[in-house]
Every structure is written in C-alpha cells, then in structure tokens.
Structure 1
Amino acid sequence: MTAQAAAPGITGGNSTPHFDLVAAAERISQPDGASIYSWGYGCHTAPAGFSPAAIQSSPATAGVALAVNVSCPTMQIPGPTLIVHQGDTVTVTLTNNLPAAAGNTSILFPGFQVTTSGGTPGLLTQEAPNGGSVTYTFMATNAGTHSYYSGTQGDLQVEMGLYGAIIVLPTTVPAGCRAIGATLPDGQVDFRNAAAAYNHGATCYDREYLFQFSEIDPAIHQQAEQQAGMACTQATGCMDILTELYHPAYFMINGRSMPDDMDPNYAMQYPHQPYNGNPHMHPGELVLLRIIGTGRWQHPFHEHGNHVRILARDGNLILSQTASADPMKTLAGPLLFTTTTTPGETMDGIFYWTGRGLNWDVYGHAATGPGSVYNLDPSDPKYAAYNGKPVVCIPDANGYYTADPMAPNYYEWCADHNKALESHPFGTVASGGPVTLPDANIFTNGAWYGGSPYLGPDATIRAVGATGSTPPSGTIANPPTSEAGFAFMWHSHNEREITTNNIFPGGMMMMMLVDPQSFVINEAN
C-alpha cells in the first residue's frame, strides 16, 4: 500500500502569512457513486507554498516535486489546512462566490482574537456578501491544532462543507526533540511539519496525521441544490431549507469515506476532496494525531493497537498542577481507548506501537536456519549490506534494539527475540511456540492482511501456507512480499457510521499500517 502525505496544507508566507480564500459550490463524490452538491472553502489565488516541505522536494530528488497534483482548488472539503507559526500575524481574506440565494458567508476562528475589515456585520462576525469579500486578522497565539468554520447560518453552511483546520507550529525545538531535517534517523524522508506539537519536550513526534470528522445529510444538500438558482438580494439568503430532522447518511474523514480515504492525497478522482486518511508508521515511532470534530454529531473514534495519549484540547496543553523536572511527568492528559470527537473541539494526541507485550518475535526470527540472518530484497541498496549477516537484538536501557537505526529490526522488543509463536509452522520460523495457526486463506480474506502473524516481507514469506496469502478476493492492499505490515482498523464505534448510505464497509474507517522498518514510508505520493 502506498503511503501518503501526513498533514498536508498551505502556507501564507513568513511572519505575516496571508491566505486568499473563496467560498464556492461544487460536487463531491462518495463510494456508492453519489455526487453530492456541496459548498466549501478553497484558494482564490495560489498560496505562497505547501507544507510539509518534503511533499514538494527533497535533497534526494534535487528539487523535483515528490507529491502528485499538489494543488489548492477553488473549492474543497474540508477547506485548505492553513499552516502557520506561533506568533504569526495571520490574515485571511474571504470572497463569497456561493450562489446568491445562499446569502452572506463568513469564517470563525475559535480561540483567537480576531479583527475584521470590510464586509458587512453579521450575528457572530463580519460577513462577506455575495460577490464581496471580508478580511480577518489574528495572532496565532496558541500552538497546536485548531478549527475554522462558517459563522453564518451554521446549521446550513457548516453542514454544506464550510469548515477546515489551522495547524499552528511552535516557535522552538524543545530539548530532546529532533529538528526538522531532510531525513529521519533511519535515513527515510522527514515529513513532519515541525519537531514538536508544542513548545514542550514531551510533545516530540516522528509522524503526524490530521483527521477531520464530519457527516452529510443528503436531503439538506438536495434542497440547497434545488434552490441555488433563485434570484436573491437578501443578506440572509432566500433559501428555505429544513435542517431538522437531521438524518446523515454519509460519514467522512477529511472529506472522504472508506475506502476512498485510503487513496492518495490530491488524487485526481477527488478534485474537491484532496486530503486522505491513510496513516502508516514504523514500530517505536511517535505518531501525532491531530483530531477535529465538525458537523453536528459526536463521533466515537477508536484507534486499534494502543490507546492515544491526549496532549491538548483546543490548542491548550493539559498539564499537571505540580511542576516536575521531567517534562513527561508534567503532562496530565488521559489515555483514551476512544477519541470522541465533539463538534468544534480539537485534540492533539500521541499514538505509539512497539510490539512489546505480544510475547512472540514479531519479525519471525529464529536462533538457527532461516530467520537467523537478514534476508532482504537484494535490489534494495539501502538494506543490501545487511543481507546474510546475523540478526542481533541488543537491548537498550528500555529493552529495545536501538543501537542501529538502519537495522531492519530497529526498535525490536529484545525480550521476545527468537521467541516462537507457531508450534507447527509452515516455514522454519519457530521452535516450539504455543499455537498452531490456520492456513492464511482460511484465517482471513481481508485486503490488509499481510499473510502471517509476523512483521515484514522476509518473515511473512517464511510463514505462509502452501496456498499462499493472497486473499480470495485477489485484492492485496498490504503486499506480503514487499510491505507486510500489521493492519489495525481505526473506525467509529457508532456502527452506523462505518457504512456509506447504510452499506458496510464505509464511512469513518481507515487502516493504520505498522510497517516493518525496511519498508520505506513515502508520504509524498
């Protein structure tokens, strides 16, 4: 499975960034084939740049664009992610290109002190009249993840798609955090927007993902489309749309439903839904989850594989009242089994997976024979030097193998090294483990099943049955000969929300792929 850019967005320049946005109408697609009339924010003029920088170029490619079709259309759902730095004076100009019947529109920036110029007075803020514009200015005082959305007829305009995210990056690199660079310690490309989520040493991270949760009631969108052509000069618009009773049928992450959210960012088949939900990681990496609830409903989102340590809500770090010299002890956010997204609220949290506690060697190593030496793709120059060499696991002070960041088993839990899982393995992986596994085709036909309980193509190939690991469907999203990651389903715990118009699977669902260290996670495609 191809990995994708983690938290892509647009930048507006240095210290005084300016974003020239427009509100417009277009259509978005759903996996059941529906084309839904919607409204959204987009770029009125080209942005100053895109972030993270690695999606545009890297030293390894001599400035050649890495990401495909990186763009900011004139309408997208969610709106463009605005990426700024703490302390920046941010200016956002909004032009109203919605149908005249929609009336005025606007943007609210919760958590910031906003001044306005132009436009006309509205109930909550200055508004842009049809064909006109308004400018908002604020200082990005708090780092972290923030939301923005329409402050005009919110029951209609937010439902129609007028919402987006702001990522405020901290101004410093806290002690213990790695500065942004061309590569991570393992030599793979650094796709972070910043070294840490906040100016705090316990908020360092290795990868980041932004997830915005929303829903669509198609009846509301159909009414808006039917009335969009009405002649109207009223600031409040001329539409008469019933927004109650509310019966959403589509449930989205970053404007897409499963499986569309697993396709690349900026995929040409979703011209107005550029962002995906396709997280990947290596064992031991700290993954920053930026979570925003939009729409009307709470969405209880469950991340399989581990709990999420909440760092902050609405850009405010959750700290203990008792100071400590150890920054990890000053964090007081909860460990959440399910991150429930409340409309308008944002959360920042850390997800972490290492394999510790599973009680078997996740790489399928063996003391002798196959698995006792590295056996990797000889055409891969990055790891070719390891081929044929003995696999070692020398624990650090915390019990992990971290002596060699380039090693294919980097961050292995050494207490389980060489420990068998299978009592009667198909290959020669084990040496008397506790269980006998069924044939892979009997065990599962899921597209994300790598073919065995072991991590990585080498271990997987040595552990599959005679019939192989290809699912009966023929669809392989996690190839057993190249990626072979562990797939953890991340999904809404409201069962209806993992459907697309009542068809399962769909909706608010994705897969977190924990990939072997030897698999290059390219988040630019």
Structure 2
Amino acid sequence: MPTQATANGSPAIHLRAVDGYIITPDGASIYIWGYRDETGRAAQLPGPTIIVNQGDTVTIKLTNELPEIVSLMFPGQNGVFRLTNSGAVPVGPIYENGRLVSLTDYAPPRGTVIYQFVASRPGTYIYHSGTEINKQVPMGLYGAIIVRPAGFDPLDPATWSAYGPETGTEFDREYLLVVAEIDPVLHEAVRLGKPYRPGTYRPRYWTINGRCAPDTMLPDRATYLPRQPYGSMIMAEPGERVLIRYIGAGCDAHPLHPHGNHTRVVALDGRLLRNGTQDLSHKHFTVLVGPGQTYDQIFQWDGPVYDPVTTPIPTPIPNLRNQAIGDAGWTMWSGSPYLGQKGDIPIGVTSLNVTGEYYFMLHSHSEPQITNWGEFPGGMMTMIGIFPAGTLGPEVGRLQRDSRANSTRERR
C-alpha cells in the first residue's frame, strides 16, 4: 500500500518481513513470504507500494519476522546506506567465513536493519530481498517503488507525468502491474522446512499484482483477498493518455500486450528513452518483461474508425446470438457493448456491462501463463475497459499517497 510521508516531507517507512497465505481462483491456499507495513498482520503480495518524490531522502526500516536472514535491495537507486548508531555505512555484499550470504546488508531473525537513499531520479523501480534471491524473491519478498518527478502535484493534473514536463510521459490515468509466477512446490517446501533445488523450479500460477485471473479484475482491497490488495483492471476513456507501469518480479520473462493494441514504451528500468533532445520511445505490440525489469508505457485508445459523434461504435456489431458470452444468466456485454450504445439482449441474460464500455484483454502472450495450473482462462490476464467519455470519475486510475499509514491506491 502506498506509504506515508513524515511531517517534513521525507518518507519514513517501516516494513516487516513476515509469512502468510494467498488464495488462487481454483481454491488453492499458498504459503508465502512477503513484506507488510505497520498496519498489516500478515504478508501481502506484492509488498506495499512505496511512492516518493524526486529528491526525497527515503528511510526504510526492515524488521525480520522470518526464520532466516532477510534484506532489501533497491535496484536503480544510487548511494544506498545502512544507518547505524555510529553513522551511515554504504551497503554491500556480506561474506561470512569466505561465503557470500547476502548481496546486501541484512536483518537477522527478530532483528532490524535501516536503509537510506536519496530518490534522485524519477521512474518505476522494484525492491526485493537481496538474500538467497533464488528462494526469497519467488516466495514473495518484492514490491514496487515509484519516484515522482520534481513538480508533481497529485492535486493538479497539469503536472502529472512519469519523468517531468515535456518528456512525452504526461498522463491522465496510471496503473501499476507487478508480474511474477508461483511454483507451489517451492512454497510448500519452504513451509515445511524441506530442501528445494532451484533447478526444478516449475511455475503453475502466474500473477499480476499478486493475483491470478479472474481475480485480477476484482477491485482493490477486496475483502475476500486480504493479502492480495491490488487489482489490475485498467479503465480509461477514449483518447486519454494512460501510463502503464510494468515490473518483472519473477524468475521468468513475461511477454505482455494489450490485445489488438500497441503501447509506446517511454522508459526502461527507470531511465527515460531519450538521447538529449532525440526521442527514442517506440511502439510495441508485445513487451517482454524480464526478471527485475521495469517498463513505463503510454497507452491511448481511439479505435481504428472511432468518432464519438459519427462512429461511436468502432466495430461491426455481431448478431444477437453472438452478443451473449457464456451460459444463460450472465454475459460480459450488453446487446451492443461499445461506448455508450446499448441494445436488446436475449431473454434471461443479465448484462454486466455498466455504461456500454468496450473491453479487451491485457495478457501474457505465453499460453501457459494465462492458466491456473493448466486451466484456462487464468493466470497473467486482466482487462482494459474503455468507457464512454465523461463516465469515469477523476479518482479512477490514480496511484495516490495520502496521509494515512495504510494509505491505499484509489481507483473506484
């Protein structure tokens, strides 16, 4: 959950490394390790989203409640220090008896470690454990960091951009998608304290923001998903600039794309794709998100022939028989499902289409990754909903930091 800033504007964050359970749409309960903030009681997946401003001095205290040493790494952040009673010490690999035990300073069981860095560059970043990363990161010890550019004002849409004014990263709405995968055999071995060989890693579930489809399309903070607080449904209106942030938190690469559409990649790993004044951004149909990578993209939907006055329905309407999806009694669509136009639907079919919005998938292009243990549909899949102009409130599609310690992402 997005963090709180202290009174002087410098973020002070307390994370705890703990265990817990998540659920999948097929009814499985999976043991995880994860980070939580001071308001949580068990691990959440992914960890709390940290939102800070460019130039902030960020202090993060990690308390370890797990049975082995745990740490935090901040890829893309320069000058990370560990705070001690005698001052700040640069973090680095830790060796014990000539053996590498952690890529960075760690907290022992029931111990703490305090990190500090200056968020000098805007962008999208990952944080994760730097200890036994082939186990602890797949177990769920990861989360997102968003650094707002200088001048960003959450109350002034004119200042909203990912990398600052005149960078081509201005946006009207934004979404964060953290993608990963789960090998239940690893999680069960850790729960039982049994050995596990990383070479046997074989995911069976694929997640967006800690959820498998169709749970990805449920709202944020759904009460029946208490340890998976973030949904990933994307909602926008025609022509709006939508910032979509990808973070690869898993061990595998994930080819993602919005079905039938392109996104413009504007930044990679927290670095704007620009050489001086030369714009190096480029459109992609599919973005391959590798382990630890982050992508910032601008997405706009106008439809191939869409015009709100002359052509409000940008595709031929199918016949009535083909407008109902699934068994009688439920459907994703109204009789005419596009941008405010609604028509008759078959008798006995209930429309779940709210305003005549238009839906298409955002999903992995690797077929196994859109299943839950082999069952389709599932896994790394969500929906993009294009709503008629003027129907979405300003709170939709915002990653906001508010004044509460358990501040959350408001999208509905």
TM (norm. structure 1) is 0.67
- Give the residue type in structure 2 aligned to 1:105: V
- Measured against aligned partners, the alpha-carbon deviations of 1:248-294 in whole angstroms (never above 9, x if no partner) come to 00000000011111111111111111011111001111000011001
Contact 1:302–1:492 (Cα < 8 Å) also in 2: yes
- Measured against aligned partners, the alpha-carbon deviations of 1:139-195 in whole angstroms (never above 9, x if no partner) come to 00110110000100001000100000000001125xxxxx6437x79xxxxxxxx61
Partner of 2:76: 111
**Does 2:374 match 1:490?**
no
Distance 1:297 1:86 in 2: 30
- Give the residue type in structure 1 aligned to 2:5: G
Q: State the shift of 1:421 in Å.
A: 7.9
Contact 1:73–1:272 (Cα < 8 Å) also in 2: no
Contact 1:305–1:353 (Cα < 8 Å) also in 2: no
Which one of the candidate residues 338, 342, 346 is aligned to 1:460? 342
> What is the DSSP-based 3-state SS (H/G/I as helix, E as strand, rest coil) of the residue aligned with 1:496?
helix
Distance 2:314 2:365 in 1: 31
Contact 2:337–2:357 (Cα < 8 Å) also in 1: no
**Does 2:226 match 1:226?**
no
- Measured against aligned partners, the alpha-carbon deviations of 1:51-73 in whole angstroms (never above 9, x if no partner) come to xxxxxxxxxxxxxxxxxxxxx55
Contact 2:22–2:227 (Cα < 8 Å) also in 1: yes
Q: State the shift of 1:243 in Å.
A: 2.3
**Does 2:245 match 1:290?**
yes
Which one of the candidate residues 30, 38, 41 is aligned to 1:36? 30
Taking a change above 3 Å as real, the CA distance of residues 82 and 454 of structure 1, as seen in their structure-2 partners, is closer
> What is the DSSP-based 3-state SS (H/G/I as helix, E as strand, rest coil) of the residue aligned with 2:377?
coil
Which one of the candidate residues 248, 257, 261 is aligned to 1:306? 261
Partner of 2:297: 349
> What is the DSSP-based 3-state SS (H/G/I as helix, E as strand, rest coil) of the residue aligned with 1:219?
helix
Q: State the shift of 1:30 in Å.
A: 0.3
**Does 2:3 match 1:10?**
yes
- Measured against aligned partners, the alpha-carbon deviations of 1:342-388 in whole angstroms (never above 9, x if no partner) come to 10010111000123x32x65xxxxxxxxxxxxxxxxxxxxxxxxxxx
**Does 2:54 match 1:86?**
yes
Distance 1:420 1:216 in 2: 40
Q: Judging by fraction of residues, say which structure has more strand.
A: 2
Taking a change above 3 Å as real, the CA distance of residues 455 and 90 of structure 1, as seen in their structure-2 partners, is same
Partner of 2:375: 503
Partner of 2:319: 439
> What is the DSSP-based 3-state SS (H/G/I as helix, E as strand, rest coil) of the residue aligned with 2:369?
helix
Taking a change above 3 Å as real, the CA distance of residues 148 and 477 of structure 1, as seen in their structure-2 partners, is farther
> What is the DSSP-based 3-state SS (H/G/I as helix, E as strand, rest coil) of the residue aligned with 1:11?
coil
Contact 2:19–2:32 (Cα < 8 Å) also in 1: yes
Distance 1:117 1:278 in 2: 39
- Give the residue type in structure 2 aligned to 1:94: L
Q: State the shift of 1:124 in Å.
A: 1.1
Taking a change above 3 Å as real, the CA distance of residues 218 and 439 of structure 1, as seen in their structure-2 partners, is same
Distance 1:253 1:510 in 2: 8
- Give the residue type in structure 1 aligned to 2:248: G
Taking a change above 3 Å as real, the CA distance of residues 73 and 81 of structure 1, as seen in their structure-2 partners, is farther
**Does 2:194 match 1:243?**
no
Q: State the shift of 1:419 in Å.
A: 8.4
- Measured against aligned partners, the alpha-carbon deviations of 1:440-478 in whole angstroms (never above 9, x if no partner) come to 33244164334326411xx223xx46x36x75xx5x442
Contact 2:358–2:385 (Cα < 8 Å) also in 1: yes
In the alignment, structure 2 segments of 5+ residues that lack a partner are 85-90, 95-100, 397-409
Q: State the shift of 1:334 in Å.
A: 1.6
TM (norm. structure 2) is 0.85
Contact 1:490–1:512 (Cα < 8 Å) also in 2: yes
Question: How many correspondences in the alignment?
Answer: 377
- Measured against aligned partners, the alpha-carbon deviations of 1:217-255 in whole angstroms (never above 9, x if no partner) come to 00001111111xxxxxxxxxxx52222211100000000
Taking a change above 3 Å as real, the CA distance of residues 335 and 421 of structure 1, as seen in their structure-2 partners, is closer
Distance 1:421 1:340 in 2: 29
Contact 1:300–1:493 (Cα < 8 Å) also in 2: yes
**Does 2:159 match 1:200?**
no
> What is the DSSP-based 3-state SS (H/G/I as helix, E as strand, rest coil) of the residue aligned with 2:221?
coil
In the alignment, structure 1 segments of 5+ residues that lack a partner are 1-7, 47-71, 174-178, 186-193, 228-238, 324-329, 362-411, 423-434
Taking a change above 3 Å as real, the CA distance of residues 19 and 418 of structure 1, as seen in their structure-2 partners, is closer
Q: Within 5 A, what are the aligned runs for 1:257-268? A: 257-268=212-223
Distance 2:148 2:383 in 1: 27
Contact 1:15–1:87 (Cα < 8 Å) also in 2: no
**Does 2:236 match 1:281?**
yes
Contact 1:15–1:89 (Cα < 8 Å) also in 2: no
Taking a change above 3 Å as real, the CA distance of residues 421 and 341 of structure 1, as seen in their structure-2 partners, is closer
**Does 2:339 match 1:449?**
no
Greater C-alpha Rg: 1
Q: Within 5 A, what are the aligned runs for 1:53-452? A: 72-98=40-66, 100=67, 103-112=68-77, 113-117=79-83, 121=94, 122-172=101-151, 180-181=154-155, 195-201=160-166, 202-227=168-193, 240-321=195-276, 323=277, 330-355=278-303, 357-358=304-305, 412=308, 417=310, 437-445=317-325, 447-452=331-336
> What is the DSSP-based 3-state SS (H/G/I as helix, E as strand, rest coil) of the residue aligned with 1:23?
strand
Contact 1:450–1:485 (Cα < 8 Å) also in 2: no
Taking a change above 3 Å as real, the CA distance of residues 79 and 180 of structure 1, as seen in their structure-2 partners, is closer
Taking a change above 3 Å as real, the CA distance of residues 455 and 91 of structure 1, as seen in their structure-2 partners, is same
Distance 1:222 1:453 in 2: 44
> What is the DSSP-based 3-state SS (H/G/I as helix, E as strand, rest coil) of the residue aligned with 2:70?
coil
> What is the DSSP-based 3-state SS (H/G/I as helix, E as strand, rest coil) of the residue aligned with 2:342?
helix
- Give the residue type in structure 2 aligned to 1:106: S
Q: State the shift of 1:203 in Å.
A: 1.4
**Does 2:353 match 1:478?**
yes
Contact 1:319–1:332 (Cα < 8 Å) also in 2: yes
